[in-house]
Amino acid sequence: DAKTTQPPSMDCAEGRAANLPCNHSTISGNEYVYWYRQIHSQGPQYIIHGLKNNETNEMASLIITEDRKSSTLILPHATLRDTAVYYCIVRGGGGFKTIFGAGTRLFVKA
Amino acid sequence: GAVVSQHPSRVICKSGTSVKIECRSLDFQATTMFWYRQFPKQSLMLMATSNEGSKATYEQGVEKDKFLINHASLTLSTLTVTSAHPEDSSFYICSANDQAATGELFFGEGSRLTVL
């Protein structure tokens, strides 16, 4: 079973920040939080991952709470092309299998 | 970033035939690859873990004789859907770990199988 829970859908206005929450209350000390997104009929695309510190890259920022039981993916300036299903995943490093939850369907509206 | 390539991207076959889908890691070696299937408007469901040089590990409820997995090299894993039926029509996706780098999991573009 997936170890994360996410809201099924969210809306965001184009140009505004999209904040996608994820709960992972049973995360283990050696497990990372990964975020992927999937645009219709394509394979999932890696966005960002982190262990306990906040992370930022060219696509997004990842904010992990101090107790690591939840996190938020931030798309700072959402565009229409960011409309996708976003998956928050908890997994260990290396060859551990990855179980997907239902994800959040983000709709970016003009 | 690392690239995982799947082939074919789309395949249509007749019921009763077998179909092979290839998954290649193009610029890194992957001792472990994963196979998923996805039905419309649903999430990815893990089918099996493909291990280079050994037998694949199948998830509960996935028929190993139906979905044959071969991981003969560090850059190639294949999934063969044997004696395909219309209910096997789905989007099949593979992924591979770039363990030498950051441990990120990269996904292929997916293969859409339609069984007539």
The reported pLDDT for the residue numbered A99 is 87
Q: Do A46 and B105 touch (CB under 8 A)?
A: yes
Q: How far apart are CA A9 and CA A20, in angstroms?
A: 9
| Tens digit of each residue's pLDDT (9 = 90 or more) over B16-50 | 999 999 999 998 888 889 999 999 989 999 999 99
A35, A38, A86: best to mutate for the B interface, most B CBs within 10 A: A38
Q: How far apart are CA B59 and CA B56, in angstroms?
A: 10
Asked if the model's pLDDT at residue B2 lies above 70, the reply is no
- Do A46 and A86 meet the contact criterion of CB atoms below 8 Å apart? no
Q: How far apart are CA A6 and CA A22, in angstroms?
A: 5
Q: Do B109 and A42 touch (CB under 8 A)?
A: yes
The reported pLDDT for the residue numbered A96 is 73
Residue A24 in tokens: 């992972």
In terms of Cβ atoms closer than 10 Å to its own Cβ (0-12, 13-18, 19+), residue B38 is: buried
- Do B79 and B90 meet the contact criterion of CB atoms below 8 Å apart? no
CA-nearest of B1, B76, B3, B2 to B35 is B76
Q: Does A103 touch chain B (CB under 8 A)?
A: yes
- Do A51 and A29 meet the contact criterion of CB atoms below 8 Å apart? no
Distances (CA, A) of A51 to A68, A82, A95, A102: 8, 24, 16, 22
Measured between CB atoms, which of B1, B93, B103 is closest to A43? Answer: B93
Q: Does B40 touch chain A (CB under 8 A)?
A: no
The reported pLDDT for the residue numbered B108 is 95
When mean pLDDT is compared across A50-54, A106-110, B26-30, B90-94, the lowest value belongs to: B26-30
Distances (CA, A) of B64 to B14, B48, B81: 21, 9, 10
Q: Does A24 touch chain B (CB under 8 A)?
A: no
Q: Do B109 and A43 touch (CB under 8 A)?
A: yes
Of all residues in chain B, the one with the smallest CA distance to A87 is: B43
B97 vs A contacts (CB less than 8 Å): 94-95
Q: Does A46 touch chain B (CB under 8 A)?
A: yes
Q: How far apart are CA B25 and CA B30, in angstroms?
A: 7
| Tens digit of each residue's pLDDT (9 = 90 or more) over A42-61 | 999 999 999 999 999 999 99
Q: How far apart are CA B27 and CA B106, in angstroms?
A: 11
